[in-house]
Amino acid sequence: MFGGAAANWPGGADPLVTSSWRQRSVSGATGLFGGVLAALAVPPFGYWPLAIAGTALLYAAVRSASPRRRLLAGFAFGLGFFGIGYAWVANLVAGGWIALTVFEAGLTALACLAIRGAGPSLRSWRPTGFATTMVLADAFRWWWPFGGMPIGSVALGQAAAPLGQLGRVGGPLLVEGATFVLGACLGELLAGTRERPLRFPTGVLVILTTTAGLIALSYGAPDGGTPAGHLRVALVQGGGVRGLHALFTDASIVYQRQLKPTLSLPDRPRPDLVVWPEDVIALDRPLAGSPEAGQVGDAARRLHTTLVAGVTETVGSMAFRNEAVAWAPDGSIIATYEKVHRVPFGEYIPFRSFFSHFGPTGLVPRDAIPGHRPGILVTPAGQLGVMISFEVFYPGPAAAAVSRGATVLVVPTNDASYSTGQVPAQEVAADRLRAIEEGRNLVQAAPTGYTDVVDNRGRLIGRTSLGTAAVLERSVALHTGRTWYSVLGDWPMIGLALGLLIAYWSLTLSRPSCPRPMEVPEHADPDNARPEEARLP
């Protein structure tokens, strides 16, 4: 009977089905556009206000929508955001880019599904439910899959913005939480003025005032304290063509590009620390006893300096080690750190046999062996907190090093295989966040850029160009103080987000949600005017 009623509707189309399809289309398109806008806030684009605008669009798409539309909008947002943010993976394994984008989009969709709709009486607090859910989803994303994927995160887009200073108070989760809540408040205010002109929800104004207060507080929060000394650092960037994978480069040429400018460094002023990039000493045998070990030791002895360089050693036919090795001023090797967080699809292929069906995996022929201890090198130049390349995207390694006495953070990196500047630009943003969070100066050396120096408040005080040969020399301060985030870590933010989300859910369950005036629920008649025969039992 219902099928016949639909068939007899003028034009042959059921307006309920048409309206439902239209609502879903609008939700999906809004979410996708919001994801693209948010992605443009992340380096290399760096238009940080767009993260708030993009989040506002996602919030508008889910704030009073049905579960199905919330899933659709969240998934579409994830496709737009991570499809752009993870584009670098396609440079290595196309199947990995597709898999990661779809997975992360699905996680965003689940987060949006968890945002239970609220009736008008709880409209003021919907931004809180939205922001806390998105923060918890990102906390999970940084942990799983493949050890977490923090590249392309919302926080990176705020590293150079006022919200980035929140890092020393609550870390990257607070930075992201503030971004999400500002976007949600913007969406709620726009909706509020449309539904009830000139009457803004009180709760939204409270949230905005609190966020502004936190930002003001962050500028005065502990930032590592008064410098305990200074270190003259020389960062050597050998230069070369970008976009060439290690399989297609001559390791000896890369090595010589690092060695020659190092030997040309002047004795006055003498650097206290020389830093080479990641894996510029690539060996098919152990480092100890190799000609390279002797030559680098001679360079350290001639300059009478501590020299840290990235070394890779082949282990069998399918594995290799990725290490940061320190030579003392007397030329001896005194400390080694082995990289813990490997780059999925860059330094190893997870489920290699599976992903080989989606594209060639020969560009990553061997898997890196993960290390197991914090990155701290005890040297004559001081306690160096080391993060090798990809590790700088995680807050944990920097925090572990600082808790063990690191007075400066050192990042040997190598992203020369990426033809675009996306990964290098995001890495500089991560440098700035880690420096803010831990209250430490940070130095980074890359073979083809970016090589940079960041102070303890996240200000970029030196950076090279991509592809050039350069030596960046700076005097950096050594700090021993701790920030609030350095002491407390992520658990307070995770606990706060969980508590707020549970409280919001409790309120929505105790006060059942109801559609806004003039809203057409998906399973209701849009005009409440179906033909009489369609209402018959």
Q: What is the pLDDT of residue 123?
A: 67
- How far, in Å, CA of 137 to CA of 498, rounded? 11
Q: What Å distances lie between residue 440 and 37, 166, 235, 513, 519, CA to CA? A: 32, 15, 17, 48, 52
Across residues 391-417, what is the average pLDDT? 96
**Whether 10 contacts 125, CB under 8 Å:** no
Q: How do residues 74-103 score in pLDDT, each as one tens digit?
A: 999 999 999 999 998 887 777 778 888 999
Q: What Å distances lie between residue 28 and 69, 71, 450, 516, CA to CA? A: 8, 9, 37, 20
Task: Give me the residue label for tokens 């295989």.
Answer: 417
Number of H helices and E strands in the chain, helices first, is 15, 14
Say whether pLDDT at 9 is over 80. Answer: no
Q: What is the pLDDT of residue 24?
A: 87
126-141 vs 49-62: helix crossing angle, rounded to 10: 110
- How far, in Å, CA of 101 to CA of 36, rounded? 13
Q: How do residues 207-249 score in pLDDT, each as one tens digit?
A: 888 889 999 999 999 999 999 999 999 999 999 999 887 767 8
**Whether 93 contacts 355, CB under 8 Å:** yes
- How far, in Å, CA of 95 to CA of 345, rounded? 9
Residue 143 carries which DSSP code?
Answer: T
Tokens found for residue 105: 């989009």
**Whether 315 contacts 327, CB under 8 Å:** no
Task: Give me the residue label for tokens 């809180």.
Answer: 128
Tell me the percentage of the chain whose pLDDT exceeds 90: 67
Q: What is the pLDDT of residue 18?
A: 62
- How far, in Å, CA of 86 to CA of 16, rounded? 38
Across residues 352-373, what is the average pLDDT? 77
- How far, in Å, CA of 394 to CA of 515, rounded? 41
Q: Check the CA dihedral 359-364-369-371 and report its sign.
A: negative
Q: What is the pLDDT of residue 205?
A: 78
Domain boundaries, the chain: 16-222+489-510, 229-341+375-482
Say whether pLDDT at 4 is over 50. Answer: no
β-bridge partners, 462: 453
Helix extents (H) in 221-272 = 251-263
Across residues 106-133, what is the average pLDDT? 81
- Least Cα distance to 230 among 453, 480, 477 occurs for 477
Residue 279 carries which DSSP code?
Answer: T
DSSP H/E element including 427: helix 422-438
Q: What is the pLDDT of residue 361?
A: 65
Q: What is the pLDDT of residue 318?
A: 86
Q: Check the CA dihedral 177-183-185-187 and report its sign.
A: negative
- How far, in Å, CA of 397 to CA of 312, rounded? 20
- How far, in Å, CA of 83 to CA of 89, rounded? 10
**Whether 149 contacts 108, CB under 8 Å:** no
Q: What is the DSSP string of 375-399?
A: -EEEETTEEEEE--GGGGGSHHHHH
94 or 410, which is more confident: 410
Q: What is the pLDDT of residue 511?
A: 62
Say whether pLDDT at 435 is over 50. Answer: yes
Map residue 443 onto helix, strand or coil: strand
Across residues 27-40, what is the average pLDDT? 97
Q: What is the pLDDT of residue 534?
A: 39
β-bridge partners, 309: 325
Asked: is 229-341+375-482 a CATH 3.40.50.800 domain? The reply is: no
Across residues 374-384, what is the average pLDDT? 97
The residues, ordered by sequence, that sit 6+ positions from 32 with a Cβ below 8 Å of its Cβ are: 76, 77, 79, 80
Say whether pLDDT at 517 is over 50. Answer: no
Assess whether the previous peptide bond of 485 is cis (omega < 30° from 0): no
**Whether 234 contacts 473, CB under 8 Å:** yes
Tokens found for residue 488: 């407390």
The burial of 117, by beta-carbon neighbours within 10 Å (0-12 exposed, 13-18 middle, 19 or more buried), is given as buried
Q: What is the pLDDT of residue 121?
A: 54
Q: What is the dihedral of CA 212, 216, 222, 224, to 10 degrees?
A: 100
Q: What is the DSSP string of 204-273?
A: HHHHHHHHHHHHHHHHHS--S-S--EEEEEEEEE----SS--GGGS-HHHHHHHHHHHHHT--SSSPPSE
Say whether pLDDT at 461 is over 90. Answer: yes
Q: How do residues 142-160 score in pLDDT, each as one tens digit?
A: 988 888 889 999 999 999 9
207 or 393, which is more confident: 393
**Whether 355 contacts 367, CB under 8 Å:** no
Q: What is the DSSP string of 306-362?
A: EEEEEEEEEETTTEEEEEEEEE-TTS-EEEEEE--S--BTTTB-TTHHHHTTSS--T
Is the whole-model pTM more than 0.85?
yes
Say whether pLDDT at 260 is over 80. Answer: yes
Give the distance, in angstroms, between the CA of residue 6 and the centroid of all CA atoms in the same chain: 49
